Amino acid sequence: MRKFLTTTAIAAVMMTMGSVSARAAEGVEVLHWWTSGGEAAALDVLKKDLEGKGISWTDMPVAGGGGTEAMTVLRARVTSGNAPTAVQMLGFDILDWAKEGALGNLDDVAAQEGWDKVIPTALQQFSKYDGHWIAAPVNVHSTNWVWINKAALDAAGGKEPANWDELIALLDKFKEQGITPVAHGGQPWQDATIFDAVVLSLGNDFYKKAFIDLDPATLGSAEMKEAFDRMTKLRSYVDDNFSGRDWNLASAMVIEGKAGVQFMGDWAKGEFIKAGKKPGTDFVCMRFPGTQGSVTFNSDQFAMFKVADDKVPAQLKMASAIESPVFQSAFNVVKGSAPARTDVPDTDFDDCGKKAIKDLAEANTNGSLMGSMAHGHANPASVKNAIYDVVTRQFNGELSSEEAVAELAAAVEAAK
Ligand code: GAL
């Protein structure tokens, strides 16, 4: 075939190839799990921002809340020598990749833009490895939230539950209203997200000793049995079709008034906003009863992989764009999270967003800001997955609370 191409045609082909590779050099390939309506809307803010700066976007979405599937796909990509430019990642996973020497270096851009002074230390613990910047944090989410349908709450007397007993009384009232009291999707990471909040509701010290310190006595304690008993109680309020349901479909049940509450991180707010719902009018956000003042956080960061030299400029531009205060506000207003910098005004945020920002600052000052176990900010994946396994089996009735307590302590010890 080739011999039939005219010189002009060959020149044209070569020019096209030239412009393709020039575009590729000014582009980023991004692996992420932001595929729900609210998540995609937030991601679009980032895509458009970069496109406005002349950086093209190659999308690599891997569906699956919490990122379990995305991390499996990533491993395959890197193993085949084909790492993406940037990867949405949580906590200890970032450090694991850094340990393997797979990540690039953002020190120059971080120094020029003074990231050290404005990004909270709790996040820097995961954005830096061995003193070098390896990831750009885009937000701060937290897991100890409750999302309530306002009309259902009003019909139940309108009072936000202040403690566990009041929460249970409210769930009973939702049952009487004929709606599903708790909207939930039976997937290990979602079960674990509720477990974060339930364990925290038994005290900061308890959460810290159990999930951060992995103290065997705490993991095997009578208090831990109480945490599992609470999970059993909550399980009795979910509908028959909960197994395997995606988290955003559970959010939709609350949005549509088919369910009363969802226990979920504040990415759920992204779904309410996307559906045109307003906090205070259509839904209520509150901390899981008994946990006001504490925050179990997870921060989505873009871990920057080692890529060919010609791809580095676009990678650095992406990192810089993510940390711009204007972008931080625009993105997090849509995502439901708080900004990853301390100097972003809360002006454009709704009441739940303002509360997220305030709660975060207070918890940080009071020493009650702790990494989320369910979202990879308390332990490396090996320990996290060991905990997921026990929590899910107990939630599904395969283990009694007593058995779960014994298994939890043993599983964590083996995975450490
Ligand atoms: C979390 C992540 C959030 C949200 C959620 C559900 O781990 O931090 O940004 O995407 O998963 O997919």
Q: Are 247 and 185 spatial neighbours (Cβ–Cβ below 8 Å)?
A: yes
Ligand 1 pocket, CB under 6 A: 33-34, 39, 65-67, 90, 141, 247, 267, 298, 300, 375
Task: Quickly list DSSP for 254-306.
Answer: HHTTSEEEEE--TTHHHHHHHTT--BTTTEEEEEPTT-TT-EEEE-EEEEEBP
Distance (Å) from CA 270 to ligand 1 centroid? 11
| Residue 79: predicted pLDDT | 94
State the CB neighbour count (10 A cutoff) for residue 361.
Answer: 16
Distance (Å) from CA 375 to ligand 1 centroid? 8
pLDDT, block means (10 residues), the chain with 416 residues: 39 42 71 98 98 97 97 96 96 98 98 98 98 98 98 98 98 98 98 98 98 98 98 98 98 98 98 98 98 98 97 97 98 98 98 98 97 98 98 98 98 97
Pairwise CA distance, residues 244 & 246, whole Å: 6
Distance (Å) from CA 268 to ligand 1 centroid? 9
Q: Model-level pTM greater than 0.75?
A: yes
| Residue 1: predicted pLDDT | 35
| Domain residue limits, the chain | 2-142+298-366, 145-296+369-415
What own/partner pairs with CB < 8 Å and gap ≥ 24 does 231-236 have? 231/191, 231/194, 231/195, 231/198, 231/391, 231/394, 231/395, 232/394, 232/395, 232/397, 232/401, 233/168, 234/182, 234/194, 234/198, 234/263, 235/395, 235/396, 235/397
| Residue 12: predicted pLDDT | 42
Distance (Å) from CA 267 to ligand 1 centroid? 6
Q: Are 370 and 207 spatial neighbours (Cβ–Cβ below 8 Å)?
A: yes
Q: HEC string of 360-408?
A: HHHHHHHCCEEECCCCCCCCCHHHHHHHHHHHHHHHCCCCCHHHHHHHH
Distance (Å) from CA 129 to ligand 1 centroid? 23
State the CB neighbour count (10 A cutoff) for residue 19.
Answer: 10
Please tell me the CATH superfamily of domain 2-142+298-366, with its number: Periplasmic binding protein-like II (3.40.190.10)
Q: Are 38 and 273 spatial neighbours (Cβ–Cβ below 8 Å)?
A: yes
Decide if 2-142+298-366 and 145-296+369-415 have a common fold: yes
Of 69, 194, 267, 298, best ligand 1 pocket probe by most atoms within 8 Å of the beta carbon: 267
Topology of the domain covering 145-296+369-415:
D-Maltodextrin-Binding Protein; domain 2 (3.40.190)
- The residues, ordered by sequence, that sit 6+ positions from 408 with a Cβ below 8 Å of its Cβ are 219, 220, 224, 387, 390
Q: Which of 40, 216, 339 is nearest to 48 (CA)?
A: 40
Q: Are 252 and 335 spatial neighbours (Cβ–Cβ below 8 Å)?
A: no
Percentages helix, strand, coil for the chain, rounded to the nearest 5? 55, 15, 30
Task: Quickly list DSSP for 116-145.
Answer: HHHS-HHHHHHHEETTEE-EEE--BEES-E
What sign has the CA pseudo-torsion 334, 338, 344, 347?
positive
Q: Are 237 and 147 spatial neighbours (Cβ–Cβ below 8 Å)?
A: no
Pairwise CA distance, residues 295 & 309, whole Å: 40
Q: Are 258 and 185 spatial neighbours (Cβ–Cβ below 8 Å)?
A: no
